[in-house]
Copies of this chain bind each other. A is one copy, B any other.
């Protein structure tokens, strides 16, 4: 497990209104987070590539792109697909659109909010997503997932995985010995509020198993009938 202090975590605030940005910065820094700022999508992209923040706090309304679109973009890129996102919305925007669309954010917070609420939600999301930061290297019995290079290998042989299978495996390896329902997996691998059939998980499980099978590692991906799946190096 990584360091338990979530202080010193880097948070990127993407918000075009300076007063709100300041308020957020003040609240977070008082709680000992490191804060970076971006006013628009473009500078956010740079900041992400540059700083590799641990969490992104993003306004729903950005000049140019909509928040939803931007989150989708982030999720597509393997560099940023693992970074949790908290969406900031105004109360008036807070209806169907925000949560009906395919946004893959991890939580959201409604303006106006108090600084303690902000900090609490940031902490909660970090707590949920922390283990398996992203750059970490995970290894189980010769199956190695290198977060920095985004590569998976079995012994000396490389394992070819699609982006989704990679994220799925990373999720499993950072949360082993534990059953997850298809719904939970959609939340944590695909992103929250994404409208995807639950059965789609089965298909990606199969693809992951297929890629691991030549090395015998498909035995790690275990089906728990009626509940979901589990990653475990021990026998089923």
Chain A residues engaging chain B, CB cutoff 8 angstroms: 1, 91, 94-101, 107-108, 110, 113-114, 116-117, 119-120, 123-124, 127-128, 130-132, 146, 148-151, 158, 160, 162-163, 177-181, 183-184, 187, 192, 224-228, 230, 232, 234-236
Contact of A98 with B127 at beta-carbon distance under 8 Å, contacts A158-B236, A179-B149, A224-B150 already known: no
Nearest residue (CB) in B for A177 is B149
Question: A179 is contacted by which of B94, B124, B148, B236 (Cβ under 8 Å)?
Answer: B148
B94 pairs with A116, CB closer than 8 A: yes
**Given contact pairs A110-B113, A150-B227, A162-B225, a sample of 18 additional A-B residue pairs in the complex whose CB atoms are under 8 Å apart:** A97-B116, A97-B120, A99-B120, A100-B120, A101-B124, A124-B192, A127-B183, A127-B184, A127-B187, A128-B128, A130-B183, A131-B184, A148-B178, A149-B178, A149-B179, A150-B230, A151-B230, A160-B236
A181 pairs with B116, CB closer than 8 A: no
Q: List 22 A-B contacts (CB under 8 A).
A: A1-B226, A94-B114, A97-B117, A97-B120, A99-B120, A101-B124, A110-B114, A124-B187, A127-B184, A128-B187, A130-B181, A130-B184, A131-B184, A131-B228, A132-B179, A146-B177, A148-B178, A150-B179, A150-B227, A158-B234, A162-B225, A163-B226
Question: A91 is contacted by which of B97, B108, B114 (Cβ under 8 Å)?
Answer: B114
Which residues from B are CB-within-8-Å of A132? 179, 227
Give A202 Cβ to nearest chain B Cβ, in Å. 15
Which residues from B are CB-within-8-Å of A158? 234-236
Question: A117 is contacted by which of B94, B148, B227 (Cβ under 8 Å)?
Answer: B94
- With most chain B CB atoms within 10 A of its CB, the pick from A179, A225, A232 is A179
A131 pairs with B180, CB closer than 8 A: yes
- The complex places the Cα of A120 from the Cα of B107 at a distance, in Å, of 10
A227 pairs with B163, CB closer than 8 A: yes
B101 pairs with A110, CB closer than 8 A: no
Question: A95 is contacted by which of B108, B116, B148 (Cβ under 8 Å)?
Answer: B116
B101 pairs with A116, CB closer than 8 A: no
